[in-house]
């Protein structure tokens, strides 16, 4: 019970709350400054992926599967 009271009183103290607010402001400033310094990369992915049209040329004959041969009696 005493431990909970001490933790809550420390967490809700004015000093701690002002530190949290200041850290959040600094974090937003740092994120804004870092995102402004990012380089802009040009798009070089045009025609990088070609659609495979090999489905029209599929072989209609399938190889013989041996799975069902396991159930046959010899």
For 4-60, what is each residue's pLDDT tens digit?
A: 988 888 888 888 889 988 888 888 888 888 888 888 888 877 777 766 666 666 666
pLDDT value of residue 56: 65
Do residues 16 and 10 make contact, with C-beta atoms less than 8 angstroms apart?
Answer: yes
């Amino acid at each position: 019970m005493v431990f909970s009271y001490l933790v809550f009183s420390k967490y809700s103290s004015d000093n701690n709350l002002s530190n949290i607010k200041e850290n959040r402001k600094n974090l937003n400033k740092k994120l804004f400054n870092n995102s402004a310094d990012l380089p802009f990369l040009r798009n070089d992915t045009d025609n990088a992926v070609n659609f495979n049209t090999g489905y029209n040329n599929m072989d209609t004959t399938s190889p013989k599967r041996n799975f069902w041969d396991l159930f046959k009696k010899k």
